[in-house]
């Protein structure tokens, strides 16, 4: 019986490792410090907390380059994470889909 469950265990472990290695895009205007630290390369918990605090004090980021205003985040860190950084305004991110997709009325 045990020999039949070994392939299943190997498959499950392989799936977990591949998910753990995957980094996906992260919206720096909505992500918490744990997510920022986990998903962005070279950004530890201290820098991630600084990003969240800066965002709380000054509002959402309008570009990836604005992350350089956060102490400890430089152009090299931004460049290293360019493909992982998403900038979506909090208001846009929380709009219902129907409202966000609503076309503007044509002027007569």
53 inside domain? yes
Of 19-23, 27-31, 56-60, 98-102, the least confident: 98-102
- Could you tell me the residue range of the domain that residue 75 belongs to? 22-92
108 inside domain? no
* DSSP single-letter state for residue 103: P
Which residue is associated with the tokens 């309008």?
Answer: 62
Q: Is the pTM of this model over 0.85?
A: no
Q: What's the CATH number where 62 sits?
A: 1.10.150.280
What are the tens digits of pLDDT across the range 55-106?
999 999 999 999 999 999 999 999 999 999 999 976 654 444 444 444 554 5
54 inside domain? yes
Q: Work out how many domains the chain is built from and give that number.
A: 1
67 inside domain? yes
Distance from C-alpha of 105 to C-alpha of 33, rounded to nearest angstrom: 40
32 inside domain? yes
86 inside domain? yes
106 inside domain? no
Nearest in space to 63 (alpha carbons), one of 87, 89, 81: 87
């Amino acid at each position: 019986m045990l020999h039949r469950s070994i392939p299943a265990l190997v498959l499950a472990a392989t799936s977990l490792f591949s998910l753990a290695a995957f980094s996906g895009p992260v919206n720096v205007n909505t992500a918490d410090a744990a997510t920022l630290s986990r998903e962005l390369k070279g950004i530890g918990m201290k820098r991630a907390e600084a990003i969240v605090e800066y965002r709380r004090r000054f509002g959402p980021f309008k570009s990836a380059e604005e992350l350089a205003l956060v102490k400890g985040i430089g152009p090299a860190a931004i460049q290293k994470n360019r493909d992982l950084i998403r900038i979506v305004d909090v208001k846009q991110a929380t709009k219902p889909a129907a409202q966000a997709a609503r076309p503007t009325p044509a002027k007569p």
